[in-house]
Chains A and B, each alone.
Chain A
């Protein structure tokens, strides 16, 4: 089982719709979760972090975390063509100085105008 799993997509949504991106992880003691956006040919850009169960909203983005189910998701409301990118889920494993992030392979999102 991979440590962090994402559906590779592509996920296609029409402009203005809600895009829902999902991620599952295997380490039950993970405490920190991140979503990065990566445009083609660019480096990953941090867009959301979440540490507690529930929802965290930032503009059009909402991150949702359910530690019992080992599941984290990203909702993008009012999707725009500029949201078309690969979305990487990252989960921390380890503790103390050995703490590190493990990334999923990413989900490709395509927003059609």
Chain B
């Protein structure tokens, strides 16, 4: 069974530029999560989708971050404009369903550096 796929793996941009990350979850997983992990910290949930609907985006900085999951499968996370403090690893995870606490599986992540 293929795992969670993410691209790109690395990205370096200048502040005020925009960037987009892509995620393809494990086949059959209804729930998709985007996390931000800053060095030395645990992953912090940015947004959670159940199929193509948003369940939780309470920690998403909506003035600069946006995310979509149009067909209930792939998802894109965008940052526009980027700030220096956005330098982090962006992790995508998926689980069977969010109605129960199913185990979450992570993709390899995208390491973003904002200069």
In whole Å, how far is B83's beta carbon from the nearest beta carbon of chain A?
A: 22
Contact B56 A98 (CB under 8 A): yes
Interface range on chain A: under 10, 10 to 19, 20 to 34, or 35 or more? Answer: 20 to 34
Residues on B with C-beta less than 8 A from A34 are 103-104
Contact A97 B108 (CB under 8 A): no
Give chain B's interface residue range (CB within 8 Å of chain A): 20 to 34
A32 in contact with B101 given A103-B42, A104-B42 (CB within 8 Å): yes
Cβ contact within 8 Å between A88 and B101:
no
- How many angstroms between the C-alpha atoms of A103 and B56 in the bound complex? 16
Q: Which A residues lie at the B interface, using CB under 8 A? A: 4, 31-32, 34, 36, 42-46, 49, 88, 90, 92, 96-106
Query: Measuring CB to CB, which residues of chain B are less than 8 angstroms from any residue of chain A?
Result: 33, 40-45, 48, 50, 55-56, 89, 91, 98-101, 103-109
